[in-house]
A and B are shown apart, each in its own frame.
Chain A
Amino acid sequence: MIAFCVRRAMWMVLTLWIVFTATFFLMRAVPGGPFDGERALEPEIEMNMKRRYNLDKPLPVQYGIEMWNYCRGDFGHSFKMGDYTVNQVIAEGLPISITLGLLALGFAVTLGLLAGITSAVFRGGWADVLLMLVATIGVALPSFVVAGICIIFFVFLIPLFPAAGWGELNQLVLPALCLGAPYAAYIARISRTSMLDVLSQDHIRTARAKGVGPVRVVMVHALRGALLPVVSFLGPAIAGILTGSLVVEQVFAIPGLGSHFVYAALQRDYTLAMGLVMLYTVLLYSMNWIVDISYAVLDPRVQLK
């Protein structure tokens, strides 16, 4: 386990370096710079701006400076929000995204697993069809449509929740639902499929033959095997949810990382975009790491290498 973790950590450093390098050069290859304000700047002024952000130096030197700063954990100032450093933006946005994400995830896992198992057990029945129908609709509609319709229904027709904002409990519910819905649907489908797989395997039939009750068969014996693909889906899902869905955060005006992230990309806020890419990388990597460990925990046949 320890050897595994050490090796993984080394890979992570390598990953971060590659991602850093790729993003760095990719971003500088894109047309449009951070200083393309509506007013063209005097050459002298533009040179000063560039100097302030080290953009006047040759590319390899910029790369070196930037890398050194990142190694010290200093992500620099945001180009577009001059009053903030990237670290501050992350510090403000991350907790919000984490809260929203965990809520959405809890919602997704609970509802998804429940629906998936139910429909696997009652395969072919009306419950199965209905649940899969709902799950499919959850996958089948773009989240901006779901969110838009939710607002019309639950804000204006039945005024239950506020339209937007952040900070109070009733402001959390709608966005968490909208953010979690597609993931719940995925989980329902995946868990149904794998549950069916497991239910047809030998050890389940053996357990049944031994006279183990149907509920126990499903909840104890089958569930463990069926969780495997769900867990492997959770890795990307958690990271995707955590960094926040842009659409949901935008529609509900939530100041999470999701909106920071896409605005940074679209507005060529090099420094902020870069910092968020690195953060996203670390998050995704750790999630995959955890997934691999939980794979081993859940399935004894898999060994950590």
Chain B
Amino acid sequence: MSTDNARPNDSTSKVPATKGMSLTQDAWRRLRRNRVAMVSLWTLVVICVLAFFTPLLPLQAPDFTQTSLQYAEPIATPFWLPTLELDTELIASTPEAVAQLETELPALETALRQADQQFDRADAALTDDLTQEQRKEALTTEQARYDDARFALRQKQAEIQDTVQQPYRKLGFANLGGLSRWMVQMRFALFGNRSINSVCGRDLLGRDMLSRLFWGARISLIVGLVATIVSLSIGVTYGAVAGYFGGWVDDAMMRLVDILYSVPFIFVVIFLITILGQEDVADELTSMGIDRITVFFFVVGAIYWLTMSRVVRGQVISLKNELFVESARSLGAGQARIIFLHLLPNLFSVVIVYLTLTIPRVMLFEAFLSFLGLGVEPPDVSWGLLANEGIKVITPVKIYWWLILFPSMALGVTLLALNFLGDGLRDALDPRLRDE
């Protein structure tokens, strides 16, 4: 019954501070004693490592469709399946081809710049009293020339991309970054054309579920992590400041939170995704390297800080009347010092718990958006997308259990591990436990 039994009653807490036992070191020792937390930690580490090294694993390509194998059930024999071979000769020849193509770029860029200048000059030469329509009419040739130049440049850029990606694309990979390409090459060097058979079954288009799970992990994890960190940094700072200062500062800051809270964020997301999904905007963004997922990070990050700030504020309010804050204040500590050195460490357990709750929520929100059709876009995959595809084919007449079980398990295990790790961290980090 008593909680004291569960508490590690070891000697570390009695080590004098002068020995330089820092908070983190101490916490780490405590955490290592918590078996559940350590298992969770290792699970997460394994998942993250696997996700990171996915291109290196002997998996089938995630976007390789074989409609003849539509809805094939999980199968483990034979364990190895021969798949397509990477065309190494083609890859070897790409740098040269790319270099060749790149020499043509500057000319096209210059042409585009000239067309742009021409357009500006022609535009400036027009008198001011023309209507929008008339201006457009007068500039038709310049506009067309500019469009052509831009099209030519884009085409060349696309050609370079295509030359680089072609060998991988043929196999059924989505666009790969430099590191991933290297890893895929290594994978073929290591394992040849052997791939693990579809031990998790296949989907509607006959794509291998196992590799989709792995590739989906990359996106799901990144979405959860990045968005949470964005929201965390905003929320904690905001909440701590509001709670600590109290009075009108608190009032004003919390009213802002209330107002933001009262904006149903599903709207915000739908709005932003539709506005940013508009062809011309999306075009512009893609050329700047921003895709829907990046947008998603920031939108979600900017939404989820609200709860965090509210909880932190609540804790700070009840903490700031505590003795240790009073004493720090009486010792003349500055306000920033009090907030960041004295209050924040005390918030750690709350923050950690909320972190472990927020990552799942973000990942679930991503799944919810997939449910509405606003989530990750093919050929990319995420666990939410897979779960949604799985649930859509569940009907009273036939259940393709592997399509729903495996993505749910992947999500479930990850979030379970996150939660248990969070608990362990909380126990390890709680300074009040440490005082004992």
A and B touch in the complex (CB under 8 A): yes
B267 touches A284 (CB 8 A): no
Q: In the bound complex, do residue B404 and residue A15 qualify as a contact, i.e. CB atoms below 8 Å apart?
A: no
Least CB distance from A171 to B in Å reads 18
**Pair B314/A189 contact, Cβ less than 8 Å:** no
Residue of B nearest to A231 (CB): B314
Q: CA separation between A266 and B262, bound complex, in Å?
A: 19
**B218 on interface, CB distance cutoff 8 Å:** no
Which of A64-72, A94-102, A107-115, A138-146 contacts its partner?
A: A138-146
Chain B hits for A53, CB < 8 A: none
Residue B349 is within 8 A (CB to CB) of chain A in the complex: yes
Q: Is the CB of A189 within 8 A of B391?
A: no
A87 within 8 A of B: no
Say whether B353 contacts A15, CB under 8 Å: no
B23 at the binding interface (Cβ < 8 Å):
no
Chain B residue contacts of A5, Cβ below 8 A: none
In the complex, whether B360 has a CB less than 8 A from a CB of chain A is yes
Q: Can you offer 15 A-B residue contacts whose CB atoms are under 8 A?
A: A26-B267, A29-B275, A136-B412, A139-B419, A141-B411, A142-B388, A149-B404, A152-B396, A193-B350, A196-B3, A228-B314, A232-B310, A261-B266, A265-B266, A301-B321
Q: Which B residues lie within 8 Å of A124 (CB)?
A: 6
Binary A-proximity of B401-412 (CB < 8 A = 1, otherwise 0): 000100010011
**Chain B nearest CB, measured from A301 CB (Å):** 6
Complex contact A142–B3 (CB within 8 A) = no
Q: Is the CB of B387 within 8 A of A142?
A: yes
CB distance from A148 to the nearest CB of B (A): 4
The 5 closest A-B CB pairs, nearest first, are A140-B415, A281-B262, A142-B367, A124-B6, A148-B391
Q: In the complex, identify which listed stretch (B161-169, B178-186, B251-259, B328-336) lies at the interface while the others stay far away.
A: B251-259
Q: Is the CB of A144 within 8 A of B262?
A: no
| Residues 222-248 of A at the B interface (beta carbon under 8 Å) | 228-229, 232, 236, 243, 246-247
Given known A15-B259, A200-B433, contact A265–B251 (CB-CB < 8 A): no
Q: Identify the closest chain A residue to B246 (Cβ).
A: A305
Select the stretch in A17-25, A75-83, A173-181 that faces chain B. Answer: A17-25
The interface bits of chain B over 394-436 (1 if a CB of A lies within 8 angstroms of the residue's CB, else 0) are: 1010010000100010011011100110010010001011000
A15 and B255: CB pair below 8 A? yes
Q: Is B64 an interface residue (CB 8 A)?
A: no
Cα A123 to Cα B430 in complex, Å, equals 15
Q: B151 on the interface (CB 8 Å rule)? A: no
Contacts of B414 in A (CB 8 A): 140
Complex partner residue of B318 from A129, A152, A246, A302, CB under 8 angstroms: A302
Interface residues of A (CB under 8 A from B): 11, 14-15, 18-19, 22-23, 26-27, 29-32, 121, 123-124, 129, 132-133, 136-137, 139-145, 148-149, 152, 156, 186, 189-190, 193, 196-197, 199-201, 214, 228-229, 232, 236, 243, 246-247, 261-262, 265-266, 273, 276-277, 280-281, 284-285, 288, 295, 299, 301-302, 305
- Interface pair A197/B415, CB less than 8 Å apart: no
Q: Decide if the interface of chain B is mainly helix, strand, loop or mixed.
A: helix
The docked-state distance in angstroms from the alpha carbon of A257 to that of B20 is 58
In the complex, the number of residue pairs spanning A and B with C-beta atoms less than 8 Å apart equals 156
By the criterion CB–CB under 8 Å, are A19 and B416 in contact?
no
Q: A144-B371, A299-B318 are in contact. List 6 more A-B contacts (CB 8 A).
A: A142-B368, A142-B371, A193-B353, A232-B314, A262-B372, A265-B270
Q: Is the CB of A265 within 8 A of B267?
A: yes
Q: Are A305 and B357 in contact (CB under 8 A)?
A: no
In the complex the two chains form, what is the Cα distance from A15 to B263 in whole Å? 10
Tell me if B117 counts as interface (CB < 8 A to partner A).
no
Which residues of chain A are near B314, meaning CB under 8 Å? 228-229, 232, 295
Docked pose: A143 CA to B370 CA in angstroms: 12
Give the residues in chain B near A141, CB-CB below 8 Å. Answer: 408, 411-412
Query: Given A136-B415, A136-B419, A284-B262, A189 and B311 touching (CB < 8 A)?
Result: no
Measured CA separation A197–B259 after assembly (Å): 31
Is the Cβ of A247 less than 8 Å from the Cβ of B270? no
Chain B min CB distance to A185 (Å): 9
Q: Contact between B433 and A15 (Cβ–Cβ < 8 Å)?
A: no
* Contact between B1 and A121, CB atoms less than 8 A apart: yes
Q: Are B311 and A193 in contact (CB under 8 A)?
A: no
Q: How far is the CB of A153 from chain B (nearest CB, A)?
A: 11
- Complex CA gap A214/B264 in Å reads 43
The reply to whether the CB of B13 lies closer than 8 angstroms to some CB of chain A is no
CA distance A19 to B261 in the complex (A): 10
Whether the Cβ atoms of A19 and B266 lie closer than 8 Å is no
Closest A residue to B374 by beta carbon equals: A266
Cα distance A123–B262 in the bound complex, in angstroms: 37
Complex CA gap A124/B423 in Å reads: 11
Least CB distance from A220 to B in Å reads: 15
Give B262's nearest chain A residue, CB to CB: A281
Cβ–Cβ contact A30 & B271, under 8 A = yes
* Smallest CB separation, B64 vs chain A (Å): 26
Q: Would you give the shortest CB distance from B355 to chain A, in whole angstroms?
A: 12
- Report if B307 contacts A (CB, 8 A): yes
**Are B267 and A302 interface neighbours, CB within 8 A?**
no
Query: Shortest beta-carbon distance, A50 to chain B, in Å?
Result: 21
Output the nearest chain B residue to A26 by Cβ-Cβ distance.
B271
The answer, yes or no, to whether B84 is at the interface (CB within 8 Å) is no
Whether A236 touches B357, Cβ cut-off 8 Å, given contacts A140-B416, A142-B368, A277-B267, is no
| CB atoms of A19 and B262 under 8 A apart | yes
B234 at the interface (CB under 8 A from A): no
Q: Which residues of B contact A11 (CB under 8 A)?
A: 255, 258
Give Cα A27–Cα B367 distance, bound, in whole angstroms.
24
- Tell me which residues across on chain A come within 8 A of B12, comparing CB atoms: none
CB of A305 within 8 A of CB of B371, answer: no
B38 at the interface (CB under 8 A from A): no
Q: How far is the CB of A159 from chain B (nearest CB, A)?
A: 11
Determine if A193 and B264 form an interchain contact, defined as CB atoms under 8 angstroms apart. no
Complex-state Cα separation, A229 to B351, whole angstroms: 13
Residues of B within 8 A of A285 (CB): 258, 262
Given known A-B contacts A133-B416, A140-B412, A148-B394, A23 and B263 have beta carbons under 8 A apart: yes
Contacts of B271 in A (CB 8 A): 26-27, 29-30
CB distance from B335 to the nearest CB of A (A): 19
Alpha-carbon separation in the docked complex, A273 to B411 (Å):
33
Set of chain B residues within 8 Å of A228, measured between Cβ atoms:
314, 318
